[in-house]
Structure 1
Amino acid sequence: MKLKVLPPTLRKNNRYLTVDVKVTCQITKDDLVAIVWDACIRFQGELNTANFNLWVMKFFEIEKRDDYYRYRSIIRCQRDYVDEVRSSFALTNRYGNNMISITTIGLSGTIKSSGKYI
């Protein structure tokens, strides 16, 4: 039996956050996934974070300086929880023993339009 595709009216509405990440050590996409989930779980709790529908879509290294590394990423979340996700990112300042800063620089409804912020 073939599965039916959900019509657009029944699908979850997503938003795409473009974030700027500055950290004092090198990180990978998997590290960013752990950082994002940890930040949301610490601030919002497991019950709310389960509703966020978080996913790291793209991850780019922008530049390397003497004192920090800079990355940009596109993160998907559910439309109703954008403010909660942004506030969780703003409160994150440590990754292990390293300093980290996550700043939201763009918000859009599609991945293509969020790419203009990168």
Structure 2
Amino acid sequence: MNTSAPVETVTSGADKAKLAVAGLLVVAAVAAYYVLGQKDLWLRVLALLGLLIAAVAVFFTAEPGRALVAYGRDSVRELKKVVWPTRKEATQMTLYVFAFVFVMALFLWVTDKTLEWALYDLILGWKR
């Protein structure tokens, strides 16, 4: 039974404005790259990267950005709890998988040849 409370998200007007500004900065970054088409490439890339970095910075000040950072931290924390297999265990499991695949391929090949023989040679009488 799941006893956790449902998640409620409350977005304020300031968060919505920050997200809108971040979106506009992304659009401005792409527009600046093309508007500066006649300028040097380094200037266009610098304008693009500068505006994109500003958009990311504004995004991370809004609630969805903070929630994304919290999710990343939680993911790293959970990843540290994982018990990874040893090299020996990983090698053994890999060999088990290869052996199973080989046995299944052999079984399917024998089944295919048996059905081919039964259908074409015995029932239909087609000799190759």
**Superposition TM-score tier, normalisation by shorter sequence:** under 0.3
Structure showing the higher strand proportion among its residues = 1
Compute the TM-score of the two structures, normalised by the length of structure 1. Answer: 0.20
- Structure showing greater radius of gyration is 2
Compute the TM-score of the two structures, normalised by the length of structure 2. Answer: 0.19
Greater RCO (Cα-Cα under 8 Å, separation 6 or more):
1
Structure showing the higher helix proportion among its residues = 2
